[in-house]
Amino acid sequence: MIRNRNDPLRHPAPRGARASRPLLERGTPDPSGLAKKAGATPALPENRRRGTVLLTVLWTIALLSALAMAAAVSFRGFAGIAAVGRDRVQGDALLTAGLEMAAGAVVSLGDKPLTEREVTVALSTGSARARFSDEGGRIDIGKAPLAVLASLLRFVGAPEQEADGVAQGIVASRRRNMTRSADASAGPPNDPTKKTDSEQPFADGRELAQVPGMAPAWLAAMAPLTTVFGSETVNPLTASARVIAALPGVNRAQLEAFLAARRSSPADADRLIAMFGARQSYLAAKPQRVVAVELTAALLDGYTAAAHAVIVLLPQDSQPYRVLVWDPLPSSLFR
């Protein structure tokens, strides 16, 4: 068969020359995969999937870290709360131990007068200190005569006229309180809840702040000299020097002579009372029954606690003592 000279089969392409291929039109699919064989860039959706996975992993790590930090903070908070609770329990236990020691010291005195004393107890958790004194050696604001109240107010800085007016206000206030108590307790004669006339018109000395004309400075100065658990008179065997000085008509010379006589004869009540002449009606020696106790406690880790307590010791009672007042206080007050 004779072929034409221009037939491509008889004239192959020169060596090194590439055969021409028709270009794929834009948008035409490539069923033969020529683009992949030629080393084209991978499709964009694959890169996006890899980035999404990486971002998810990073966010998961961040979330776990945040949860770990929150758990650590919570555990530290719980540990701190537990430590505070433990300190409070141990502090209260030390205060109770100090109160027990004070009551035991009062019982051990027997008939001896209770002047201000102090005891200390040391335990494995810390130490406690108790200062205690006879409430009978203070001026009872609910029972003291008008003249004693006025003299007390002058002693703490009140002017003459104001002292008399505030003293009269105290007497009027306690009368109103007693009247209200009597009306509130009115009931059947055999009612066990009925109150008696022997009860105090004031539950706390701070109630005097409601008396017209009472200055806060006077009330603060009166606090260590007064009580609501005493009687109409003051026990000269256990009263402090400032309480004796606050009584009507007592001058400095009489006070110094009285203190010297009490040091030499601390239990001679008749002699001591007779030294005050006509003013001896304000004094009477009675056995101590109600005791004020100031308590402080310190743990080994530095935690401190304090409280003011009033206890009563009754003869032939089933309990060694009974607590009338328990008032937690800032420990800085009794350091």
The mean-pLDDT minimum among 17-26, 93-102, 173-182 falls in 17-26
304, β-bridge pairs? 298
Q: Is the confidence at residue 37, as pLDDT, over 60? A: no
Q: Is residue 191 part of a domain?
A: no
> What pLDDT is stored for residue 264 in this prediction?
93
Asked if 110 and 272 touch (Cβ cutoff 8 Å), the reply is: no
Could you tell me what percent of the chain has a pLDDT over 90?
54
Q: Each residue of 38-69: pLDDT tens digit? A: 455 555 566 666 777 777 777 788 777 777 77
Q: Is residue 309 part of a domain?
A: yes
Residue 300, both tokens: 């080994």
Q: Each residue of 298-335: pLDDT tens digit? A: 999 889 999 999 999 988 888 889 999 999 988 665 55
Q: Is residue 127 part of a domain?
A: yes
Q: Is the confidence at residue 194, as pLDDT, over 50? A: no
Could you give the number of structural domains in the chain? 1
Describe the strand order of the beta sheet including 322-329 as a list of residue ranges: 117-123, 126-134, 290-299, 304-312, 322-329
Q: Is residue 8 part of a domain?
A: no
> What pLDDT is stored for residue 74 in this prediction?
58
Going by pLDDT thresholds of 50, 70 and 90, the confidence category of residue 235 is very high
Q: Is the confidence at residue 245, as pLDDT, over 50? A: yes
Q: Is the dihedral of CA 231, 236, 239, 244 positive or negative?
A: positive
Residues spanned by the domain of 98: 79-137+289-335
Q: Is the confidence at residue 11, as pLDDT, over 80? A: no
> What pLDDT is stored for residue 98 in this prediction?
95
Q: CA 313, CA 104: separation in Å to the nearest integer?
A: 10
Average pLDDT taken over every residue of the chain: 81
Q: Is residue 104 part of a domain?
A: yes
Q: Is the confidence at residue 256, as pLDDT, over 90? A: yes
Q: Is residue 97 part of a domain?
A: yes
Taking residues 140-152, what's their average pLDDT? 96
Write down the number of H helices and E strands in the chain: 8, 7
User: Considering only CA atoms, which of 145, 135, 113, 137 is closest in space to residue 232?
Assistant: 145
> What pLDDT is stored for residue 333 in this prediction?
57
Q: Is the confidence at residue 219, as pLDDT, over 60? A: yes
Residue the block writes with tokens 């701190």: 80
Could you tell me what percent of the chain has a pLDDT over 70?
73
Taking residues 259-277, what's their average pLDDT? 92
Q: Is residue 317 part of a domain?
A: yes
Q: What angle do CA 206, 328, 170 make, to 5 degrees?
A: 10
Q: CA 266, CA 272: separation in Å to the nearest integer?
A: 9
CATH number at residue 125: 3.30.1300
> What pLDDT is stored for residue 238 in this prediction?
94
User: Considering only CA atoms, which of 266, 323, 290 is closest in space to residue 132?
Assistant: 290
Helix crossing, 146-155 with 160-184: angle to 10°? 130
144, burial (CB in 10 Å: exposed 0-12, middle 13-18, buried 19+): buried
Q: Are β-strands 117-123 and 126-134 bridged in parallel, bridged antiparallel, or unpaired?
A: antiparallel
Q: Is residue 174 part of a domain?
A: no
Taking residues 284-305, what's their average pLDDT? 91
